Amino acid sequence: MKKRGSGKIRGFVIAAAAVCFLAWPLSGTAAAGETDLVIVDDGAGLLSEETERELQNQARELSEDTGYQFMLVTTEDAQGKEAREYAEDYYMDHQITLDGVIYLIDMDNREIYIATSGQMRYYLTDSRVDHLLDQAFDAVSEGEYGDAFQEMLSGTGEYLDRGIPDGTYLVDEDTGEMQVNRKPRGITPLEAAAAFIAGVVCAGALFAGVSARYRMKGRRDSYRSQEQSSLHLTGSQDRFVNQFVTHRHIPKNPPPGGHGGGGGHSSTVHTGSGGNSFGGGGRKF
């Protein structure tokens, strides 16, 4: 004799199993898609498989923390392009998000190149890019290409932790136009408490003043507006006589904290592949 409801339970179990089975490939696809923000492409055959895995994991940590794209590329054939052009074209060909960076070891042009896009142009200023290239140069010169990538990734992680320096600005190398990034100033707890107390005091004083002014002090007779008020209207006319306008040229100075033409808290940018704005720099070896 079958127990009542056993058929319903069996049907529920089968349905749940079917849902889990159908959902499993979808969840696997999402997990695989997360790794798309990180690319390690050793076209020049400079890295071992173990080193590639280590670089993949190191770059993935940065990508997961920021949501930015990180590419580590080597090539022995730049297809007739300079290192900068090759790096920027590669980034745009594999772009998932605008914010990111590509580190290139170009054996054809014998150059290390870092190309930044989106928000990474602010994080990796000209001086920071120079420092990353300094860190990688010795390793590349000695043939330690994996160490060079690791040095650049480690330095990038430190700069991401420090954040964008206040007053960092982009300088377009073609037009000279500048775009400043300003940090919003936060309110400290002490300032918030002082503002709250000041607001309470002002509100209390205003309330007391208004109450004292309009309190009738027990008077029962009503205020007779017609007998105790008056209205006088007078005519007035405004006449426009003349107008003087003075024009003065105000020169544009570079924002404080940097130096025109690169360095300091500035990033020199240009219009690169696909019309995208790129920053960065390179070093021959």
150 pLDDT band, cuts 50/70/90, is very high
Looking at the domain assignment, is residue 41 inside a domain? yes
Say if 108 falls within a structural domain: yes
Q: Answer whether residue 44 shows pLDDT above 50.
A: yes
**pLDDT given at position 194:** 57
**pLDDT-wise least confident of 57-71, 151-165, 202-216:** 202-216
Q: What is the pLDDT of residue 90?
A: 98
Q: Per the domain annotation, does 119 fall within a domain?
A: yes
pLDDT per position as a tens digit, 86-136? 999 999 999 999 999 999 999 999 999 999 999 999 999 999 999 999 999
- Which CATH number fits the domain that encloses residue 82? 3.10.310.50
Q: Would the pLDDT of 273 be above 80?
A: yes
- Whether residue 27 is predicted with pLDDT greater than 60 in this model: the reply is no
Does the global pTM surpass 0.85?
A: no
- The answer to the question of residue 81 being in a domain is yes
**DSSP reduced 3-state for 29:** helix
State CA 98 to chain mean position distance. 10
DSSP annotation string for 90-157: HHHHT-SSSSEEEEEEETTTTEEEEEEETTHHHHS-HHHHHHHHHHHHHHHHTT-HHHHHHHHHHHHH
The total number of structural domains that make up the chain:
1
Domain enclosing residue 63, as ranges: 33-162
